[in-house]
Chain A
Amino acid sequence: MDLFPLFLTLKVSIIATFISAPIGIAIAYILARRDFSGKNFLDALILLPLVLPPTVTGYYLIVLFGKNGVIGKYIYSLTGWSVMFTWQAAVLASVIVAIPFMIKTARAAIESVDIELEKVAYTLGKSEWKTLLQVTLPLAKKGILAGIVLSFARATGEFGATLMCAGNIPGKTNTMPIAIYDAVSAGELGTANLLVLILTFVSIFILYLTNRLIQGRW
């Protein structure tokens, strides 16, 4: 039994979560606390991967990052390397589909922090950055943790966009969901059952762990 898909999925999801959490929190804070023109547009753009079919998101990623893509062609001409059909492409796809979950939950959590607490911190001499670290984020901790878990869960289950831009290369880009799809289409129900069970248990364990974390005292 080849456990490579499990480890790949964990690696991709963890890296994707580490990337999407700080970026997501930063964007969530800006959306929650700042007013600027184009805010609604940015908001819609960020949430787009939630409503688009993952294959469409994946197609956009190809258009952007492919060898001849809008951004990808510069990367290719500079480095001779393209992200397409590497495990990094799976990370990229996971970040894009998972980050809306991070932003949505973190934004709601930050908005629920009484803004007067931030104001009082300013009058006590704390900069906006220190206030964010010492007041806003600690008070929004539960929501942010929930966002991290949701985006991690979304990343582990990512299928469509990953298949589109990372492909299904055994031993290279075949993540759990793709391996399960493979096993089922090849009629290897034993393998499929095992992979499904593993993925389910890992998910339950993570959800249980976060529930424990969230219920603890802040």
Chain B
Amino acid sequence: MGIEVDIEKTYLQAKKPEFSLKASFSLDSELAVLFGHSGAGKTLTFHAIAGLVKPDKGIIRVNGRTYFDSERGINLSSQERRIGYVFQNYALFPHLTVEKNIAFGIKKSEDLKEILSLFEINGLEKRYPNQLSGGQQQRVALARALIIRPEILLLDEPFSALDHVMRTRLRRDLKKIQNKYGIPVLMITHNPVEAYMADTLIVYGYGGIEQIGSPKEIFNRPKSKKVARLVGINNIFTGTVCNILEDDVVIQSLEKIIAPKISGLEIGEEVIWCIRPDHVMVLREDRPLGKTVAENLFSGKIIEVIPKGATHLLFIDGNFNLEIEMPAHAFERLSLEVGKTIKVSLKKSAIHIIKEC
């Protein structure tokens, strides 16, 4: 079970290429998230998988069945592909009741009862879509997509129109779906929090894939500056390698920085290094420093604070201009405020070196 995609598609505007997409990935039965800004080509990839757009060339295979193969001239119609596709606005049929919407793709409505209770929409069968809340509409759309026993489930921005409570609920529903159906689930999002749910994260740049990996890997070890920015790393600096030690490397930036060694570095090489805002440690002045945080110590003045609920974003101006994300309770306990000078540690293990330049 799994999906294999390797496609190219170019759109022309007045005979000149206007947008072109190149995407290639292969996944098992897991939750994969297509992550990136809008306009990157994520929905286009979905349309290609669903047979709504024909790629210029390439292959699409799902569970060993070839949906599309430009060289062998295979191009199954959407109808033949068995795709569970939940559109961003759910695309429920406004003239049909919940029951008829869900049963639209099946011949006998024997699975209806089961799916109604799986998605907890019993009692709503006779309603029309405009009589449902956003969360209910989405569950109807999910039920309608899954009742045809699809080989793969595609969800376009499923979280975008939901409030916090419904988001949590959808996470639970997605787990249920995976356990019950065991099919690959592909989901589009531009929200880093939802991207973190993925087993595999596929990061889209404009017109192509930038990086594929586990969310942890991508959020902590982005391959490029572009990916780093996409996953919310704004502390990005350049420097020159000035010393290579046994396990570490020293980078001459605005200040000297010590970072974990990666292979292939040479002295004098220009590199980019970065650190996640939530990995910057704000130090308590009344406590002696533990060994692990006694690396890369800097100080700076707080110039702006943005509360974000459970965390606060701090911007400091000092040796390095840093963005820091810290728990709100720690912020309160240290009685921080704009104008105060603080000490921070850029923990060696949290520093990530990007070799591109």
Contact = CB atoms under 8 A, between A and B. Distances in A.
Given A116-B87, A116-B89, A123 B94 contact: no
A121 B50 contact: no
Interface in B54-104: 77-79, 81-85, 87, 89, 91, 93-95, 104
B104 A124 contact: yes
**Majority SS at the chain A contact face:** helix
B105 A126 contact: yes
Nearest to B94: A139
B52 interface: yes
B79 A117 contact: no
B148 interface: yes
B85 A123 contact: yes
Contacts of A122: 51-52, 77-79
A41 interface: no
B91 A120 contact: yes
A218 interface: yes
Interface in B8-40: none
Contacts, number: 51
B136 to A, nearest CB: 17
Interface of B: 50-52, 77-79, 81-85, 87, 89, 91, 93-95, 104-105, 144-145, 148
A218 B94 CA distance: 9
Interface of A: 114, 116-117, 119-127, 134-135, 138-139, 218
A125 B89 CA distance: 20
15 contacts: A116-B87, A119-B87, A122-B77, A122-B79, A123-B51, A123-B81, A123-B83, A123-B84, A123-B145, A124-B105, A125-B148, A127-B79, A134-B104, A138-B95, A139-B94
Contacts of B83: 123
Contact of A119 (B77, B78, B84, B95): B78
B95 A218 contact: yes
A139 B95 contact: yes
A191 to B, nearest CB: 48
A120 B81 CA distance: 12
B78 A123 contact: yes
B278 to A, nearest CB: 38
A42 B69 CA distance: 35
